[in-house]
Amino acid sequence: MSQNTPKSEKKELSKALKFFYGVGDCGFSLMTNLESYFFNFFLTNLAAFPLAIVTMITTISSTVDALLSWIYGAILNSTKPMKWGRYRSWLLVVPWMIPFLYAFEFIRFSNMILSAVTITLGAVLSHIAWNFPYVANVSMISVAGKTPEDRSQLASTRGAWSNLSKVLFSYIGPVLAAVFAGIVGEVNQYAAAAFVLACLMAALYYAHFVMFKGYEAEVPQGAVGSKAASKDKTSPKDLVRALFQNPPLIALLIADLAKWIFNFIIMGFATYYFTYVANDSDGLKTYILITSIFCVAGSYLSKIICNKLSTRKATILVMAVMAAMLIISFVMYQNVTVVTILMSAAMLGYGIIYSCTTALYGDTIIYSEWKTGKNAAGWISGLQNAPLKIAVMSRGIIISSCLAIGAFSADIDPLAASDGLKRAISFGFMLVPAIALVIAVLILIFGFKLTKEKVEQYSAEIAAR
């Protein structure tokens, strides 16, 4: 065995991984939060596109992104690994490209058609680039975490760091954009901010690359692309079996869509709510800070709750409570204080289920290997992208539809917004994600039957082989 190849026995999680795995996700979320909070607002209020063009940009870019969501894990699992390992290598070779692509998602030229094309291409290409390291990063949880406890530890730490980005963004995002507004102009302020945040993401993914050294077999010098180096790759048949012979995975993929709809929809609507319903644009920063702190707290609590209830039960219960909080918020949408409190409670739940669902995907990876005899960690980790991307696609459609129902126009004075517009914004902000969560609860109850005891049994049988 090459000296660069880790021994097959279990390697304990390092202190760096226990405490700092997830800093790359923090950087990733800082970068993508800019899009989640301000992309639609940039298109309607700064770039001043008509709603029809806004809908076209968001729909095309998110649809392409969703259609490609399955391909990243398939490529990682089915191609010959690079020098630093099948998954770990992608944390190094791709992230530096992203800043240059992401900035074009927020560029506005004098020509409207040229701007629309450039923004759409920037959105599509930047997402393609960042999906490879994102999938590789999640796949490393199953590579480094050899026990349910290890995987739960990594998922919880990753969730805490990722959601901490929401707190940091409440300070960094708007301030960074405001600084660049004075340098490159108000219209293109988010393009400069996107470039800087993407550079930070690349640096922090490199930190993950360093942390994971020794947990995945490296390819000896001169052996890259050789038959020996690619002996563990999966065939298309293996990938099909890993999905369609895995009922818990199918149920989880459908239910997980609700988590991402909740996240993206409330982030996308927050700016509109505080501008046109609360009439307090400055209150957005406070709202982001408070709800983000609750989200981080939820990530830290997830491990405790999952150990008490099991990951499956915790996810179902918390999703149901989140839906209730959102429904009550909609009933009282004119009371900004109550809405902020209830949204904070819902974000506490989001922090919990963000970590729980990652651990549930790890369970489906174990089930798949037990059922098919093939490790498809990259493929299944990559499939997590599908509900995320569908939610992104839904975000643009839902936001544009709700604004259209409310007869939105960028020329409307926020203080003169009609009750119809306020109610339409609140409907999208609160009730749409609540409905999605209720559906997800039912799917998990009847479709995800994988218990902790079964996963432990499958892991033991795999080890015995």
pLDDT of res. 109: 86
Helix (H, G, I), strand (E, B) or coil at 465: coil
In a domain, 227, yes or no: no
Query: How do residues 278-323 score in pLDDT, each as one tens digit?
Result: 888 778 878 888 888 898 888 888 888 887 888 899 999 999 999 9
Q: Do 329 and 430 contact (CB within 8 A), yes or no? A: yes
In a domain, 317, yes or no: yes
Residue 405 has pLDDT above 70, yes or no: yes
Query: Of the candidates 432, 76, 27, which has an alpha carbon nearest to the alpha carbon of residue 261?
Result: 432
> Which residues in 258-389 belong to E strands, given as ranges?
none
In a domain, 4, yes or no: no
Q: What residues make up the domain containing 456?
A: 15-221+234-464
Residues composing the chain? 465
Cα four-point dihedral sign 128, 133, 135, 136? positive
pLDDT of res. 248: 93
Query: Of the candidates 273, 250, 349, 363, which has an alpha carbon nearest to the alpha carbon of residue 312?
Result: 363
In a domain, 1, yes or no: no
Most confident of 215-219, 278-282, 305-309, 339-343: 339-343
Which CATH number covers residue 143? Answer: 1.20.1250.20
Rounded CA separation 230/224 (Å) = 9
Residue 8 has pLDDT above 70, yes or no: no
In a domain, 3, yes or no: no
Q: Do 372 and 238 contact (CB within 8 A), yes or no? A: yes
Cα four-point dihedral sign 234, 235, 241, 244? positive
Residue 227 has pLDDT above 70, yes or no: no
Q: Do 193 and 31 contact (CB within 8 A), yes or no? A: no
pLDDT of res. 424: 94
pLDDT of res. 352: 92
Q: Do 341 and 434 contact (CB within 8 A), yes or no? A: no
Query: Of the candidates 139, 132, 358, which has an alpha carbon nearest to the alpha carbon of residue 252?
Result: 358
DSSP for 340-371, written as a single string:
HHHHHHHHHHHHHHHHHHHHHHHHHHHHHHHH
Rounded CA separation 16/224 (Å) = 28
Rounded CA separation 192/456 (Å) = 48
- pLDDT grade for 228, boundaries at 50, 70 and 90: very low
pLDDT of res. 7: 42
**Dihedral through CA 326, CA 327, CA 331, CA 337, nearest 10?**
-20
In a domain, 278, yes or no: yes
- pLDDT grade for 1, boundaries at 50, 70 and 90: very low
Domain count, the chain: 1
In a domain, 226, yes or no: no
In a domain, 376, yes or no: yes
Rounded CA separation 399/45 (Å) = 14
Most confident of 152-156, 196-200, 263-267, 447-451: 196-200
